[in-house]
A = this chain, B = another copy of it.
Amino acid sequence: MATGRTHRPATRSRGIPEATVARLPLYLRALTALSERSVPTVSSEELAAAAGVNSAKLRKDFSYLGSYGTRGVGYDVEYLVYQISRELGLTQDWPVVIVGIGNLGAALANYGGFSARGFRVAALIDADPAMAGKPVAGMPVQHTDDLEKIISENGVSIGVIATPAGAAQQVSERLIAAGVTSILNFAPTVLSVPDGVDVRKVDLSIELQILAFHEQRKAGEEAAAAGSADADADGAPDAGAGAPDGAGAGTGAAPAAALMPPAGRAAAAAARKGGPDGDVPAVMPA
């Protein structure tokens, strides 16, 4: 996920819970699809299924927006599309700049889903002089020197950062100084920004690591289940992925032992899914 937003009491602002806000785009997408099929109304049950959420949750979410449904019937699709769009601020135009037009930045620039929802790529900015003027997605790349001018002249308040991690903080500072108050950061770094500026991050690496964690846990459970017959029931497969935990020098032991030998790793690895996967070196970042 991309999470983010610098901490904030969240209170105040009479408004909608953060969790609900994060789901509104999901509802909107489902509703738009229904709208295109000229479906006039939907029940909370149907819409919830389409959006992949619980229907009670959906109704509660909508209740924060007001009472837009009709009991016994459901919600008017078109009306709800409008209400959610308005709530999200999509009834206005949001110029956006993308900074760092490399592999990812170029892909983003070419992405059609941008303009589909009221967002407009106002400019593409890169520090590489060789890129300046070069057209990407039918739009000339502009040099970082003009960043402030571009932000200011276009009234940009949302910036997307797709530069290398090392440049991200500095780029964010320039964007903010120029007037940007919302940043979507693709660089794998924690951005430090002043209050009042929202930052959301998208980090591929983190997503994969979270998946790997669950994958490992699943493999562990599988191994445990296979090992002790098949009487799973509710075994509560301890987190430590089984073996490796207890074995490794217990807690409180002298920490100085830098890298420990990957003990029971073999077990978990062997328990992997089907497929002749013999090797498995203990690859480790350092």
Contacts and interface: CB of A to CB of B under 8 A. Distances in A.
A76 interface: yes
B2 A238 contact: no
What number of copies of this chain does the assembly contain? 2
Contact of A255 (B12, B76, B274): B76
Contact of A67 (B50, B90, B153, B251): B251
B155 A285 contact: no
A152 interface: yes
A179 B285 contact: no
B241 A89 contact: yes
A228 interface: no
A86 B206 contact: no
A92 to B, nearest CB: 5
A45 to B, nearest CB: 15
Contact of A89 (B12, B28, B202, B212): B212
Contacts of A251: 66-68, 92-93
Given A50-B190, A65-B285, A179-B240, A93 B252 contact: yes
B91 A250 contact: no
A133 interface: no
B14 A93 contact: no
A12 B243 contact: no
Interface string A177-196: 01101111000101010111
Given A24-B213, A286-B65, A236 B104 contact: no
A172 to B, nearest CB: 13
Contacts of A280: 92-93
A78 B258 contact: yes
A234 to B, nearest CB: 7
A82 B259 contact: yes
Contacts of A229: none
B16 A82 contact: no
A60 interface: no
Given A15-B239, A79-B258, A243-B155, A198 B211 contact: yes
30 contacts: A1-B1, A1-B201, A13-B221, A14-B238, A26-B190, A28-B209, A29-B188, A32-B286, A68-B255, A76-B258, A78-B260, A85-B284, A86-B268, A86-B286, A91-B257, A93-B251, A93-B279, A104-B107, A107-B107, A111-B204, A118-B212, A118-B285, A154-B275, A155-B274, A179-B239, A181-B215, A182-B212, A195-B236, A198-B211, A200-B207
Given A25-B206, A91-B268, A155-B250, 16 more contacts: A2-B2, A13-B217, A16-B285, A22-B206, A25-B203, A75-B255, A78-B258, A82-B256, A86-B264, A89-B241, A90-B285, A114-B205, A119-B212, A157-B215, A184-B204, A197-B239
